[in-house]
């Protein structure tokens, strides 16, 4: 049974900064992110939020080498 918890934080993705390295996807222990099948204007796959269970750990923001992802605590 899944509990409908309120998200603890919000993820902002600036896809035009993203280079599609996938670090944010790989290092998120909660499986919040996947790389999109779509491309940004620069030709890279960018991350998308697929789950509502972000815990606001900032890992994705810290590992992103291109400052393309930001975490805001709610």
- Residues in touch with ligand SF4 (CB under 6 A): 11, 18-24, 28, 30, 32-33, 46-47, 54-60, 63-64, 66, 68-69, 71
* Residue 4 or 62 having the CB closest to ligand SF4: 62
Q: Is 20 left (phi over 0), alpha (psi -120 to 50) or beta?
A: left
Distance in Å, CB of 11 to ligand SF4, minimum = 5
Distance in Å, CB of 1 to ligand SF4, minimum = 22
Distance in Å, CB of 53 to ligand SF4, minimum = 7
Question: What are the two backbone dihedrals, phi and then psi, of residue 61, each rounded to the nearest 5 degrees?
Answer: -65, -40
What's the CA gap between 49 and 46, in Å, rounded? 10
- Other beta carbons within 10 angstroms of residue 69's beta carbon come to 24
């Amino acid at each position: 049974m899944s509990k409908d918890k309120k998200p603890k934080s919000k993820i902002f993705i600036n896809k035009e900064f993203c280079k599609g390295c996938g670090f944010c996807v790989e290092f998120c222990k909660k499986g919040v992110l996947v790389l999109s099948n779509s491309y940004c204007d620069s030709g890279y796959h960018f991350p998308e939020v697929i789950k509502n269970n972000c815990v606001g750990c900032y890992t994705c923001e810290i590992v992103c080498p291109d400052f393309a992802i930001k975490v805001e605590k709610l």
